[in-house]
Amino acid sequence: MANGWTSERKARQAELIKTWRPWERSTGPRTEEGKATVARNAWKGGHRGQLQELRRTLRQQRDELEDFDLWD
């Protein structure tokens, strides 16, 4: 393989990981800064977050305008 991992090596590593079970000791982020960082993982630096914020703002404005009767 290009990365040096043969099928046998991958199988051996998979068995070792199943033995170690590191996911049972994972605690995730503990600080507020760490939690904020992982909350942004799915954004990957794109514009998705900006679009979501824009949609949220537009919905709030629409809701406020619906409460305000312009013609009475």
What percentage of the chain exceeds 90 in pLDDT?
51
Q: What is the pLDDT of residue 71?
A: 65
Compute the distance between CA of residue 31 and CA of residue 39 in angstroms, rounded to an integer.
12
Residue 43 vs residue 14, higher pLDDT: 14
* 29-46: pLDDT as tens digits: 999 999 998 888 876 666
Q: 0.85 exceeded by the pTM?
A: no
Q: Which amino acid is at 50?
A: Q
Task: Name 47's Cβ contacts closer than 8 Å, sequence gap at least 6.
Answer: none
pLDDT band at 3 (very low <50, low <70, confident <90, very high): confident
